[in-house]
Structure 1
Amino acid sequence: MSSSTRSRTSPGTALVTGPTAGIGRSFAEQLARRGHDLVLVARDTRRLEEVAAGLRSSYGVSVEVLTADLGDRAALATVEARLRDPERPVELLVNNAGFGLKHRFLHNDADAETAMLDLLVTAVLRLTHAALGPMSERGHGGVINVSSVAAFLPRGTYSAAKAWVNSFSEWAANEYRDQGITVMSLCPGFTRTEFHQRMDVSRGSAPDFLWLEADDLVARALADFDKGRVYSIPGAQYKVIAAAARLVPSSLLQRFQALGRK
């Protein structure tokens, strides 16, 4: 799509973290298709530029590349400053960047655990804080925080971090709704992306019916966001899992998972 065929009314700029693969890449693609200009944030400049070039060519949108390691406080500050820039407002923030650790808590280095917490919690908090200020002043905007269905299950520090994302997002959704801001927590399950490959976790670690496609879940997430929903849980199988997890005591869930590891 060339710039001449784009709608005259732009839906505004969207900033997406972790957009070079998987769910983040699909968000960038689908938001560009909707006409959003983009700010793409990740550590790998080469991959960012490749994605940006493809989106500019395909959709005629403006794409800004911002190289930053969100686990580094100084680099994170540059992204916060971009979100606060009154001359270049960001209408939608998608906090997608993240990673998981393969091993159980005591088998992981404490520094690795802290680095994961910094990305999954601290970066989400600080970027959301930076975005909400200008949005509340304008009276419109939105934030999508990519959480996980693991947030509903007692599965170590990754689940705990995502449970924080859910709690934070639900609070922010209710706190800022009257100011014209939509905040939503997206809770996918197993998804065919690079996420599990980087953890060295095989596709055989879960039954086929549990695996989701990134494009499908992002399309569902954006539809839920348009409806102002606080949570998006793509896939009927994960809706059932999330509902059941709310009813079953955590102690029983933890015992069941422990049996599965024996």
Structure 2
Amino acid sequence: MALDTVSINKAHGGVQGVYSHPSDVTGTPMTFSVFVPDHAPGASLPVLWYLSGLTCTHANVTEKGEYRAACAEHGIIFVAPDTSPRGDEVPDDEAYDFGKGAGFYVDATQEPWAANFRMRSYIEQELPALIAGNFPVDMARQGITGHSMGGHGALTIALRNPDRFRSVSAFSPIVSPLNCPWGEKALTGYIGADRAAWRAYDACALIDDGARVPALLVDQGTADNFLQEQLKTHLLQEAVERAGMQATIRMQEGYDHSYYFISTFMAGHVAWHAERLNAGE
């Protein structure tokens, strides 16, 4: 598959790149960033996927996430895809929480979204194959994390693919789209009115239906203005307790929804993933 280099910069001894490619899954060009730390020739490194939130692209975490020093220290490749397909021919919505920038990591079934909005298949299938073919990754050692809508994506993708990921974490995730306005709007528009079909895209529902992950870490700021109406972290806490599933869910006093919060705890998340990704190596 053709891979175009958009930019390359040296950082913390490694290489921060931005790349684009024509996606068969979305039918559009797609852009993503990859940080590859310095490593021994021929070595294969574990990979940490980061999924971004509403209105974001790969650039938000690449520019503000402050992950490179920790990834260089622990030998972790960091991959950050876009949140949705883009282009003049891609359908959109005037609202910030639907359409471009708001793919919700689902495979849409409703028109006009179904042709392009297939971020589930892009993240679960197409992009991993592309990364495996072009970067020194050990695909047996994968972790995933994300923020807000991307936290929802990280949780649900990991719960649906527990054998793929050794670790999953999230910053301020939407934990139950079945029970918040963002989720109800997005899933109705992309998937349709049948709420049973939404369960594959709801972390709490997936846990209730028997899905599990090997290791889970969530950080949520108490001053997040989306906490009560949209994020509802307590629903995830209740779901893991019902399931008897081990999870670390931390309420961080005074932190909001921004990258000031994410960057504060990013190095800790990378280290937490590294402990699990490097175990036994």
Whether the TM-score (by the shorter chain) exceeds 0.5 is: no
| The structure with more strand, counted as a fraction of residues | 2
TM-score, normalising length from structure 1? 0.38
TM-score, normalising length from structure 2? 0.36
| The structure with more helix, counted as a fraction of residues | 1
